[in-house]
């Protein structure tokens, strides 16, 4: 049986928290979708990364402090693409923020974030790229925005608590 990129990534002994992918059991925030399988956290603002049942390999970000009422956003069609985005940005943090940034804001944020990348962080990225044979995605903003623009957010299912807190219709 062929192993998935996610399974192979999970077996790597890397300090992935250096690239915004902290290992976590997941926090149960009001906005965690039904069927979410949290695999990592950013380590700030409660941001978590997950798969959601019914969406295949698509990777989502859960942002409890979400702007404009967007608490869950798709980031990548596949886990391999998600890692390609992390490689392209040198960190998962910029990817999660694309949903609320203009292209210009993202470019400035990304440049500042990349300039602060440490040698240890770069080593983790090189290991991910070489061991999993994944290439960086060269235009992360356009990739993520295209996915988010075409994605049907109404397909994500939430608990009653979500609707009680947000006041949105069920």
Residue 162 inside a domain? The answer is no
Residue 148 or residue 113, greater confidence: 148
Residue 41 inside a domain? The answer is yes
**pTM higher than 0.85:** yes
Residue 71 inside a domain? The answer is yes
- For CA atoms 65, 150, 141, 4, give the dihedral sign: positive
Which tens digit of pLDDT belongs to each residue from 97-124?
Answer: 999 999 999 999 999 888 888 899 999 9
Q: Any idea what DSSP says for residue 40?
A: E
* Burial (CB count <10 Å: 0-12, 13-18, 19+), residue 166: middle
**In sequence order, which residues have a C-beta less than 8 Å from that of residue 44 and are 6 or more positions away?**
93
Residue 157 inside a domain? The answer is no
Mean pLDDT in residue range 79-95: 96
Residue 156 inside a domain? The answer is no
CA gap 134, 129 in Å, rounded: 5
Number of domains in the chain: 1
Mean pLDDT taken over the chain:
93
pLDDT at 120: 93
Residue 119 inside a domain? The answer is yes
**Residue 71, number of CB atoms within 10 A of its CB:** 23
Query: Where does the pLDDT of residue 150 fall: very low under 50, low under 70, confident under 90, or very high at 90 and above?
Result: very high
The pair phi, psi for residue 50, each rounded to 5°, is: -155, 165
pLDDT at 1: 44
Q: Are 129 and 10 in contact (CB under 8 A)?
A: no
CA gap 120, 124 in Å, rounded: 6
CA gap 2, 78 in Å, rounded: 16
Domain range for residue 92? 5-10+17-147
| Helix boundaries (H) for 3-139 | 5-11, 79-89, 93-96, 103-115, 119-132
For residue 30, what are the CA distances in angstroms to 63, 66, 156?
10, 12, 14
pLDDT at 169: 84
């Amino acid at each position: 049986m062929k192993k998935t990129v996610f399974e192979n990534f999970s077996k790597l002994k890397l300090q992935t928290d250096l690239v915004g992918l902290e290992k976590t059991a997941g926090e149960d925030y009001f906005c965690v979708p039904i069927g979410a399988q949290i695999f990592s956290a950013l380590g700030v603002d409660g941001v978590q990364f997950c798969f959601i049942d019914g969406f295949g390999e698509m990777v989502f970000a859960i942002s409890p402090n979400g702007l404009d009422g967007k608490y869950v956003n798709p980031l990548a069609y596949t886990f391999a693409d998600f890692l390609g985005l992390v490689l392209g940005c040198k960190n998962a943090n910029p990817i999660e923020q694309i949903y609320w940034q203009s292209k210009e804001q993202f470019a400035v944020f990304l440049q500042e974030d990349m300039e602060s990348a440490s040698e240890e962080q770069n080593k983790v990225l090189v290991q991910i790229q070489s061991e999993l044979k994944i290439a960086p995605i060269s235009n992360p903003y356009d990739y993520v925005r295209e996915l988010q623009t075409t994605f049907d957010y109404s397909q994500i299912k939430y608990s009653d608590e979500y609707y009680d807190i947000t006041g949105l219709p069920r």
